[in-house]
Structure 1
Amino acid sequence: MLDRNRARRSRVARALTAAGAVATLAAAQLVAPSPASAAVSRAELALRWAPIHYQDVDATGTHSLGGRSDYIAEVDFDGDLNGRNNWDRTGQAGTSLASHAYYSVVETSTHWYLTYLFFHPRDWTDHPFFETEHENDGEGVLLTVERDGTTYGVLRGAVTVAHSDFYSYTPAGSTWTSGRETVDGILQFQASPHDLFQHPVTAQEAQGHGLKAYPQYTINGDGLVYYPSTVAETPSDGNDRDVRYRLIDIFATDGLWAQRSNASLFAGLGTFAGDTSGDCGSGTWSCSTNSANAPWGWDDGNDLPARGELASDPAKLSAEYFTVPAGLARTYTYNPYAGAAAELAAAARTAPPVVD
């Protein structure tokens, strides 16, 4: 009996050890951050801080395509870089609305600046009067992360893009406070089921896709909850509350920044090309052309930073929007946008405003 009990305890111990090993492995598979002694890559940094993203969905009206017009997608979701056929191809069979978002990372000695772009092929409405539609829609958020000596730093502030207005937020306990602009609210965090991190939470409205910190926009009825990942999932329907999205580097070879002079995709610097083909504008007030922006075209015309500086000179924008007790370095150690700073500035002075 004593030997049988000893054998039983040995089997239990082995089972518990194996279970612990499986649990440890499962946790490790959720996320594989760089070791503390290694410098984090920009892709890892972008993935760590990428938002958990709430997307309200409206399935009413023919232009909603049953809710698909509110899905986030790649710019070339239809297999080409022609911005003028995206409205029509959103509803065509065979086109993929797998979930993607774009990011860029800009650095100074004191901060990382992470810009995220959420793209929709349609900005649409189901109202017959006083509202316009347009092909393509690009809105997003700037997150400023202090380099405090830890692997991923600490998130201090956020500025979101909702049409032609910017909104600023700070996490609870942030040392940052209002600057020239008043802080608009608290940036909340939420745990992801797909990694071991707390992520900031953002949200977009249906139809026009203005973006704010959650819950200033939230899901009203049907909606999607997107989680940052290294894979891209397509929503099962318009009310899927666990959809993983994959990040794409704006500065990648042949990425959005490399395509900035592609006349098929961009009508001007930072302005997506879009026309009035298909049923855009039918049953509504109108369909406008060339009415969506990439990050280097984002602008709040009432505020001091110039068009595109949310992405191209985020240290300047952060210093305007927030009071930063420890200060901000203004010299960039990595900023691919800066090589075209003169081009961006000239375009901002001469280009007419683009209202999203």
Structure 2
Amino acid sequence: MRDRSSRTRRTWVARVLTAAGAAGALVAAQLAAPVPAGAAISRAALALRWAPIHYQDVDATGSHALGGQSDYIAKVDFDGDLNGRNNWDRTGQAGTALAAHAYYSVVETSTHWYITYLFFHPRDWTDHPFFETEHENDGEGVLFAIERDSSTYGVLRGAVTVANSDFYSYTPAGSTWTSGRESIDGTLQFQASPHDTFQHPVTAQEAQGHGLKAYPQYAINGDGLIYYPSTVAETPSNGNDRDVRYRLIDIFDAGGLWAQRANASLFAGLGTFAGDTSGDCGTGTFSCSANSANAPWGWDDGNDLPARGELASDPAKVSAEYFTTPAGLARTYSYNPYAGAAAALAKAARTAPPVVD
């Protein structure tokens, strides 16, 4: 019975890997080959096309840095489970390589695609003994608003990034969007990728706390990683690897982050990753806080009008608040899996205490 069960598991894993490889190859083929005029583009291909080239500053100093590994991006289950309360301790352990992944979700209106990207780190850490806190798990990201025009992939008009408990807005050069209720914080730059034929937007994260802004408002200071969107996930060779491919994971996948939103091992509340104070978190620093990181439906800038989570769940509203846009920006969604839980999100936003990342 044990042998048959083992063979069954191996067969199942092989089938899953084969299916995942086939899906990745299909998306890669869509990017490589011309798409016929009028053909629908898959959300996975759309997300891959607009996924940012991502600069990650790395700090290798101090025991909590783990030689720089604490600044590597990873899956939430990099250690093989969906328990958010053991990620701090398992970062850097043998057998838990931090292969590069990022998460995305796509929601749609008749006029725009809105793509949210989440970059996850198992540690939000510091090497300062005063005033700064650490915590298990860290989720920062960016929203891109893509105008649907006659082209295959549309035109990127605006971006809003998440840097801890603050949002920052950007537009590419030549955008038809201008400052709205919030002033635009800078220009979103583009760079060519060595792994495809596209110019990608460029984002960057600081070391330790991992706030995310448009490059070069954060930049690599010494050691650092440059992550490139791809259909494969690579582990950095060291903390100064300037060509690391990362793989995208759909938040709405079956069994994915959105499906796991009520999993008490992974989430302490709606949109809040579970994290405890075990291990050396907080040792030699000001403190270690529990349950202090957010998924996209928990992101919030408490000083701005959009409610908690709306950057992901109602990005058309956020775009209308942050930017002045040409007439015709639709506010009704044709595809938005977040909307099915809109009432719960709104209620949680009104009653839950703020979570500061």
Q: What is the TM-score normalised by the length of structure 2?
A: 0.91
Aligned equivalent of 1:116: 117
For residues 1-33 of structure 1, give each alpha carbon's deviation from its aligned partner in whole angstroms, at most 9, with x where no partner exists.
xxxxxxxxxxxxxxxxxxxxxxxxxx9898345
Aligned equivalent of 2:133: 132
Structure 1 segment 86-235 matched on structure 2, within 5 A: 86-235=87-236
Q: Aligned AA for 2:48?
A: L
Rounded Cα–Cα distance in structure 2 between residues aligned with 1:32 and 1:294: 34
SS in 2 for 1:112: strand
Q: Is the 8 A contact 1:128 1:283 kept in 2?
A: yes
For residues 8-62 of structure 1, give each alpha carbon's deviation from its aligned partner in whole angstroms, at most 9, with x where no partner exists.
xxxxxxxxxxxxxxxxxxx989834533342100000000000000000000000
Q: Aligned AA for 1:97?
A: L
Q: Structure 1 residues 288, 173: closer, same or farther in 2, change over 3 A?
A: same
Aligned equivalent of 2:241: 240
For residues 282-310 of structure 1, give each alpha carbon's deviation from its aligned partner in whole angstroms, at most 9, with x where no partner exists.
00000000000000000000000000000
Q: Aligned AA for 1:347?
A: A
Structure 1 segments unaligned to the other structure (5+ residues): 1-26
Moved more, 37-46 or 136-145: 37-46
Cα drift, residue 328 of structure 1: 1.0
Q: Is the 8 A contact 2:30 2:45 kept in 1?
A: no
SS in 1 for 2:345: helix
Structure 1 segment 1-356 matched on structure 2, within 5 A: 31-32=32-33, 34-356=35-357
Aligned equivalent of 1:24: none
Rounded Cα–Cα distance in structure 2 between residues aligned with 1:50 and 1:188: 13
Q: Structure 1 residues 41, 28: closer, same or farther in 2, change over 3 A?
A: closer
User: Between Structure 1 and Structure 2, how many residues are aligned?
Assistant: 330
For residues 306-352 of structure 1, give each alpha carbon's deviation from its aligned partner in whole angstroms, at most 9, with x where no partner exists.
00000000000000000001331000000000000000000000110
Aligned equivalent of 2:21: none
Rounded Cα–Cα distance in structure 1 between residues aligned with 2:165 and 2:80: 29
SS in 1 for 2:134: strand
Rounded Cα–Cα distance in structure 1 between residues aligned with 2:120 and 2:36: 33
Root mean square deviation, CA, Å = 1.2
Q: Aligned AA for 2:309?
A: G
Q: Aligned AA for 1:189?
A: F
Q: Structure 1 residues 30, 145: closer, same or farther in 2, change over 3 A?
A: closer
Rounded Cα–Cα distance in structure 1 between residues aligned with 2:102 and 2:311: 17
Rounded Cα–Cα distance in structure 1 between residues aligned with 2:281 and 2:189: 36
Q: Aligned AA for 2:94?
A: A
Q: What is the TM-score normalised by the length of structure 1?
A: 0.91
SS in 1 for 2:121: strand
SS in 2 for 1:45: helix
Aligned equivalent of 1:4: none
Task: Among all aligned residue pairs of Structure 1 and Structure 2, give the percentage whose two residues are the same amino acid.
Answer: 89
Q: Is the 8 A contact 2:31 2:45 kept in 1?
A: no
Rounded Cα–Cα distance in structure 1 between residues aligned with 2:262 and 2:29: 42
Q: Structure 1 residues 244, 190: closer, same or farther in 2, change over 3 A?
A: same
User: 4+ residue runs of structure 1 moved beyond 4 angstroms?
Assistant: 27-30
Q: Aligned AA for 1:34?
A: V
Rounded Cα–Cα distance in structure 1 between residues aligned with 2:356 and 2:49: 31
Q: Is the 8 A contact 2:205 2:219 kept in 1?
A: yes
Rounded Cα–Cα distance in structure 1 between residues aligned with 2:31 and 2:239: 26
Rounded Cα–Cα distance in structure 1 between residues aligned with 2:289 and 2:233: 30
Rounded Cα–Cα distance in structure 2 between residues aligned with 1:110 and 1:30: 22
